[in-house]
Amino acid sequence: MYTSQTNGDTKRLVIANYTVAQAPANATNASVVNGWHTSRSDPEEHCTVDYRCNGKNKRRHVYDTDGTNQ
């Protein structure tokens, strides 16, 4: 994801930081499903992340809470 962009490393780092900061307390790992996007169900820009919690997957939206992604 974002590997061909000149600022791709920065974008991946921003997503990783938000993924950790907004993780459920019992999450053991996370996998980013989609990078920054909007959708009909959620018009606010977000990333989609699958968290592993207590042996089950939980899909969550991760948001740019402080404008770092701008």
Q: In this model, does residue 55 exceed pLDDT 80?
A: yes
- State the pTM of this model: 0.85
| pLDDT given at position 68 | 79
Distance (Å, whole) CA 6 – CA 21: 25
> Tens digits of per-residue pLDDT, 4-39?
666 778 888 999 999 999 999 999 999 999 999 999
Handedness of CA 40, 42, 44, 50 (dihedral sign): negative
Point out which residues pair with 29 in neighbouring strands: 52
Closest CA to 50 of 42, 39, 61, 63: 61
